[in-house]
Amino acid sequence: MSSQPNKPESCIQLEHIKGDARKDMDEDAMTDEQKKAARTVEKRLKLKLDFTILPLLSMIYFLAQMGRSDLANAAVAGMNKELGITARQYSTVASIFYVGYIVLQLPGTLLIRKIGPPAQFGLAMLAWGLTTTLAVEIHSYGGLLAMRIVVGGIEAFVQGAIFYLTFFYQGSELATRFATLYSTVALAGSCNGLIAYAITLTLDGHHGWRAWRWIFLVEGVLPIACSFLVFFLLPKTPEGASPRIFSETEKAMMVRRSRAAQNTGESSVRYKLLLRLLADPLFWMLNVMGMALHYCTSSLSNFLPAILVGFGWTGVKAQVMSVVVYACAFVGILSFSYASDRLAKRGLIVSIGSGVAAIGYAILLGSTNLSARFAATCLCAFGTYPGIAIVGAWTSTNNPGYTYRGGALALINMISQCISIASSHAYDDPPIYRKGNAVALGMMVITCVTAMALSVVYQRLNAIKKREQYSEAAEILRARYTVDDISHRHPDVFFHV
User: Over the chain, what is the mean pLDDT?
Assistant: 88
What does the pLDDT read at residue 267? 65
Q: Is this structure's pTM higher than 0.75? A: yes
Distance of alpha carbon 215 from the chain centroid: 25
Please, which residues have CB within 8 angstroms of residue 1's CB and are 6 or more apart in sequence? 7, 12, 15, 16, 31, 33, 34
What whole-number distance in Å separates Cα of residue 409 and Cα of residue 35? Answer: 34
What does the pLDDT read at residue 364? 94
Q: Is 58 helix (H, G, I), strand (E, B) or coil?
A: helix
Name the percent of the chain lying above pLDDT 70.
Answer: 93
Please, which residues have CB within 8 angstroms of residue 367's CB and are 6 or more apart in sequence? 373, 376
More confident: 53 or 29 = 53
Positive or negative torsion for Cα 399, 402, 407, 413? positive
Q: What are phi and psi of 157, to 5 degrees?
A: -85, 0
Residue type, 190: S
Domains of the chain (ranges, CATH numbers): 40-228+270-489 (1.20.1250.20)
Positive or negative torsion for Cα 240, 245, 247, 249? negative
Closest CA to 31 of 18, 16, 43: 16
What whole-number distance in Å separates Cα of residue 151 and Cα of residue 104? Answer: 12
What whole-number distance in Å separates Cα of residue 33 and Cα of residue 234? Answer: 33
Rg (CA), the chain: 24
Query: What does the pLDDT look like over 285-341, one tens digit per residue?
Result: 999 999 999 999 988 877 887 888 888 887 778 878 988 999 999 999 999 999 999
Q: What are phi and psi of 280, to 5 degrees?
A: -90, 115
Residue type, 287: N
